[in-house]
Amino acid sequence: MPELAYINGQFCSIEQAMVPLEDRGYQFGDAVYEVIVSYNGCLFCLEEHLIRLERSMQELLFPPISLEMIRNAICDLFDRANLARAEIYLQISRGVAPRKHAFMNTKDFQFVMTIRRIEEKLTTLREKGAAAITLEDFRWGRCDIKTVQLLPNVLAKQKALDAGAFDAIFVTKEGVVREATSSNIFIVIDGRLITHPLTPNILSGITRLVIIDICKDLSIPVEEQFYSTDDMYLSNEVFLTGTTTEVLPVVHIDKNRIGDGKVGPVSKKLYQELRGRIEG
Ligand code: PDD
């Protein structure tokens, strides 16, 4: 079944899809996005992604855009592609206009999507655990808004790969651990979980919220607290959460082995529980 693109109500192949040169998303990064995946023919947490998308658009002062229209377009694309395990990338820019910083006189927003099949690539990494590096956070101060301005994330991810690691973890100058390039991060200390609180410096991940909810069901304590790189290095377990990473254990960070260097029981259990919710 086909991988497809969607541009403002029209469907075509991804190769044929074009956006205008003066799309503000292209020239200014003036656009928001979401990544939504499906399992067994069902979109996971669609409503949560729509709510976050609406908030991102409000924070960037976009004119109101109907969530129902967006939901219908997503479902239409998903139905047409008929891919059981798929990733939808959705981007809405403020629109097209001659290049001027101020956003007066912008024509209608641009709504584009792609749907592609997912190949499960992280299975081995999930069993063995990943390596990560830390980097000083050099992103802007509104990482809670899911904008397409991802150049720091792109550079950080590449730096991690070049260093032989899977991902980079953004930390402050003072050593406070924030999040990874496209995932949130949790540490486990003596059976309790700690993760950065929701502030403008991290994205409110949907998977992060699902994991916190699962922990509530399992009576696993979760603290949304600031913690340091030293806390992380000395913790029993570390794992990333995200729509594409799901729950991904990290067993090596910078020069430090985490715990005994093997995937720990809490990460394993939470991955199984997440899969259980997805299947459910
Ligand atoms: N990224 N933090 C950042 C910086 C992210 O970009 C993402 C998601 C997350 C996790 O959020 P969620 O659980 O809602 O996927 C945290 C997407 C997947 C991406 O950019 O591809």
Q: Whose CA is nearest to atom 17 of ligand 1?
A: 182
DSSP H/E element including 28: helix 24-28
* Residues 6 or more apart whose Cβ sits within 8 Å of residue 120: 85
DSSP H/E element including 117: strand 110-117
pLDDT per residue as tens digits for the range 7-39:
999 999 999 999 999 999 999 999 999 999 999
pTM for the model stands at 0.96
DSSP H/E element including 135: strand 130-136
DSSP H/E element including 241: strand 237-242
* C-alpha closest to that of 146 among 91, 65, 191: 91
Neighbours of 75 (CB within 10 A): 12
* C-alpha closest to that of 277 among 220, 198, 206, 223: 206
pLDDT at res. 181: 98
Q: Which single residue is written with the structure tokens 């529980």?
A: 273
Q: Are strands 256-257 and 110-117 parallel, antiparallel or unpaired?
A: unpaired
3-state DSSP call for residue 100?
coil
pLDDT per residue as tens digits for the range 83-111:
999 999 999 999 999 999 998 777 789 99
3-state DSSP call for residue 70?
helix
pLDDT at res. 122: 83
- Residue 274 Cβ < 6 Å to ligand 1: no
pLDDT per residue as tens digits for the range 230-258:
999 999 999 999 999 999 999 999 999 99
- pLDDT grade, residue 1 (50/70/90)? low
- Cβ(38)–Cβ(78) below 8 Å: yes
- Cβ(200)–Cβ(147) below 8 Å: no
Which domains does the chain carry?
4-117 (3.30.470.10), 123-279 (3.20.10.10)
* C-alpha closest to that of 94 among 31, 173, 10, 16: 31
pLDDT at res. 87: 98
pLDDT per residue as tens digits for the range 118-174:
988 888 999 999 999 999 999 999 999 999 999 999 999 999 999 999 999 999 999
Q: Whose CA is nearest to atom 7 of ligand 1?
A: 182
Question: Closest ligand 1 atom to the C-alpha of 244?
Answer: 18
* C-alpha closest to that of 229 among 173, 167, 165: 173
pLDDT per residue as tens digits for the range 192-244:
999 999 999 999 999 999 999 999 999 999 999 999 999 999 999 999 999 99
Distance 243 CA to ligand 1 centre (A): 6
- Cβ(246)–Cβ(271) below 8 Å: yes
Distance 280 CA to ligand 1 centre (A): 23
